[in-house]
Chain A
């Protein structure tokens, strides 16, 4: 017994390369510990602390990015984690979302008189899960990340104890999320059974090194399919999207912003990494499935959004159609014979990073608007006459909505353009056209919100308050949207090597 313990050798860990995760973890624990041992902090204290922790993680990620630029991508911790620009970009996007959401949450909780450190600690742990997911090179590690993220999100969704909708959202998310995790895990098991490994790189090697007998390939494909279903739930692809509008609507709005950004970015990046790294040899099998899923997601997401009357539900469906757009990039990655196949990954990376800022900004405005109604409602009526009462806020929302619609000179257009360009370059014309037409349908939804804001007469003359943290957070999102929209080369310069995933 003792011998066995003695012979177990832990993997060598390059601590600097995992420092963002370590910082977030220590930060979360410290925040929770110190926060619970000290009396209530001054207004905004917890939020600020959480934002600072995430900022440190961003700074470290930027250093990592530069390391990768000079010495190339590599695998960490016994090949469990990948260190490449794709992963680091995702962790920067996730941490940025944490910064912005923490600021908004701080105002939100202050207005509800419920500011406490737990929420922020959960944001930080969720971010850890997200980063692990995005960087994992091992299906089991991926699952760990997924669960860390999901468990935090379940709690966050139910965190508003005063509202039954919030608890309902939490429970609904928990049950369906549990199903999804089970599906995913079953898929992992079948894949392991066929290939003998859970490491993405080794799975690919195993699948390439020998020709599997037909029976085994069936098992493998079932496994891959089950994993896709699991991811489908997390990313809310059609037909696995049913929970999204309810949960988005019921959760506290800052949490919705967090889910829509961090949850989605992490799951999408992980999904893409798994398929591109582990199963490129089966691209002909999963390519068409992804094509159908992405077309369905785009169409249902944008069409059903039209008939909603609640802004959070509208944005929930719009986030579904965004996921469809990103999936187009994955479909591009299945065209392995094309020389432009790498464009898909770059387009996805750019899209998720820009989308994260965009969606946080949009939901932040929704949070502020809901705070200024009597009952925290987020119906379209709550936005009426915002242009008259708070022109700047309405203008910010207009920019964000136009960006979501993909109007030029906003980051949304840059993101969509990248995806469409990648799709056309590999010859997926039909998907490109479907995506663009759906973008137009989705534009109708954003226009409806804009109409409400600008064209309706004031229904109330009550003073409208925008707290400073929320204002900062919205301003940052809008600035990113415009600067990248007008000068996309700032971002594109950095991302030209994004498609080199870590493989050794």
Chain B
């Protein structure tokens, strides 16, 4: 059973993780006109402080404990039983840290080119929303955060994206909002039905998950209402069509954040809310979700292979990778779920890095067409080297981080979902195919005139990428500290599921 760890630090670290970016965003918006140079500095300070806080959280997080730590709970809307309830456990810890680290990197590393004030302000608001989603232990609070994320992301895509940005931003907003519309009804219904078992109206995730017993039909409907929202967010086939558009049209920073952490809100939501609240229904829905996940893996891989636009290719590879994560999540064995959680972080790092690299290529060549690029290895060997490492991590080469997660997912899923896993394995091979083939076309060969002036990686870009490469290599070679922190929470969740489905 997962029990809330009541230990409270004197310092409300989780609340600060959410509030700090909001303050930063307001300061940025206020300073923007009068003091542009201070504006940039304050964006930087706010995001770096948040990163430092999240790393500190990582340091003081008690390894080997299953429950929620640093829980902070304050009454918010008492009439509806809603509280500001934050907590972190092994499942959310690394996503929080990833969110903390990724934003300053994006803010430092990528130029928005125009309207910097609003760009930074939206970025910081986005960070607050994402942080809040990963930390919320209250259904209402989670919904608020889950939904509020759409607004800054919408403006980032629509304001700083490429040619089709308006269309992509609209599609992104409406798809996700349509998904969450069902979830809102689901959340309220969950609370109303749980009221009968608990005797109080509360949106508290832990109380409902531990105390409520939904009837079979009710549980299934509720699970479905949550599942639609998360399936759109992940995105699971066939709800994925917004993703390639959003990714391709978003500015590089937006794509990195989208792939890095935003999509994880879906997979994390499945685990934290779908499975935890409705274990029986999750068990029941497993075959369907496995099937969709595996279709996603194969379809994403095939579609990626055929893309002519490098960014679109990475976007479709995301569909495939997230298929793996969903497969692992619903395999509901400790190994597979641990792998899935790890893979959420890995995918964030490696796909985030891939989008950064593609963005750098675009900055230099103003095209992302694979056919326009050739022989870059000759003129920019270090750039090519970095790309190789990141790409291999995405392929899942042993020794790099992607392998650990994928391997755990496949091993853990083989028992509960044998044939689906067999098919999914083909996806691993396909990943190697589309990424290596793309690499070959872009980096090998003799550079033509346009490509021969391709600039080598700059110091700023190099420093930026070295953070990613370091994470990729270190967590690939020595994943134990990470797994030690993830596993207890996952094991507790699995035993909760087993207890409820017996």
Judged by a CB distance under 8 angstroms, whether B174 is at the interface is yes
Q: Is the pair B170, A447 in contact by a Cβ cutoff of 8 Å? A: yes
Given A447-B170, A451-B170, A492-B80, A420-B185 contact (CB < 8 Å): yes
Q: Is the pair A455, B173 in contact by a Cβ cutoff of 8 Å? A: no
Closest chain B CB from A501 CB (angstroms): 20
Judged by a CB distance under 8 angstroms, whether A464 is at the interface is no
Chain-A contact segment, one of B48-56, B141-149, B331-339, B481-489: B141-149
Minimum CB distance partner of A416 in chain B = B184
Q: Is the pair A440, B177 in contact by a Cβ cutoff of 8 Å? A: yes
Q: Identify A489's interface contact among B79, B145, B170, CB under 8 A.
A: B79
Given A407-B148, A455-B158, A492-B80, A425-B185 contact (CB < 8 Å): no
Minimum CB distance partner of B76 in chain A = A489
Minimum CB distance partner of A388 in chain B = B115
Given A425-B192, A437-B181, A451-B158 contact (CB < 8 Å): yes
Residue of B155, B170, B181 with most partner-chain A CB within 10 A: B181
Contacts of B60 in A (CB 8 A): none
Given A409-B144, A424-B192, A454-B159, A429-B185 contact (CB < 8 Å): yes
Given A425-B192, A455-B166, A489-B77, A436-B144 contact (CB < 8 Å): no
Q: Identify B185's interface contact among A436, A447, A451, A493, CB under 8 A.
A: A436
Judged by a CB distance under 8 angstroms, whether A444 is at the interface is yes
Mark contacts of B64-101 with chain A using CB atoms, 8 A cut-off: 1 yes-contact digit, 0 otherwise.
00000000000011111000000000000000000000
Q: Is the pair A493, B151 in contact by a Cβ cutoff of 8 Å? A: no
Residue total for A at the interface (Cβ-Cβ under 8 A)? 28
Contacts of B166 in A (CB 8 A): 451, 455
The residues in A between 438 and 462 inclusive whose CB is less than 8 angstroms from any CB of B are 439-440, 443-444, 447, 451, 454-455
How many residue pairs bridge A and B at CB < 8 Å? Answer: 75
Given A421-B80, A424-B185, A489-B78, A440-B174 contact (CB < 8 Å): yes
Minimum CB distance partner of B144 in chain A = A408
Mark contacts of B212-240 with chain A using CB atoms, 8 A cut-off: 1 yes-contact digit, 0 otherwise.
00000000000000000000000000000
Residue of A408, A447, A493 with most partner-chain B CB within 10 A: A408
Q: Is the pair A436, B158 in contact by a Cβ cutoff of 8 Å? A: no
Q: How far is the CA of A413 from the CA of B184 in the complex (A)?
A: 11
Closest chain B CB from A448 CB (angstroms): 8
Q: Identify B155's interface contact among A432, A437, A454, A492, CB under 8 A.
A: A454
Q: Tell me the interface secondary structure of chain A in the complex.
A: helix
Judged by a CB distance under 8 angstroms, whether A247 is at the interface is no
Judged by a CB distance under 8 angstroms, whether B61 is at the interface is no
Judged by a CB distance under 8 angstroms, whether B362 is at the interface is no
Contacts of B426 in A (CB 8 A): none
Q: How far is the CA of A424 from the CA of B194 in the complex (A)?
A: 13
Judged by a CB distance under 8 angstroms, whether A402 is at the interface is yes
Q: Is the pair A436, B182 in contact by a Cβ cutoff of 8 Å? A: yes
Q: Is the pair A408, B189 in contact by a Cβ cutoff of 8 Å? A: no
Judged by a CB distance under 8 angstroms, whether A44 is at the interface is no
Binding site for A on B (CB under 8 A): 76-80, 143-145, 147-148, 150-151, 154-155, 158-159, 165-166, 169-170, 173-174, 177-178, 181-182, 184-185, 188-189, 192
7 nearest A-B residue pairs (beta carbon):
A436-B181, A408-B144, A492-B79, A424-B188, A440-B178, A432-B185, A489-B77
Identify 8 new A-B residue pairs, CB closer than 8 A, beyond the known A455-B159, A492-B79.
Answer: A407-B150, A409-B144, A424-B192, A432-B185, A433-B181, A443-B174, A454-B155, A455-B158
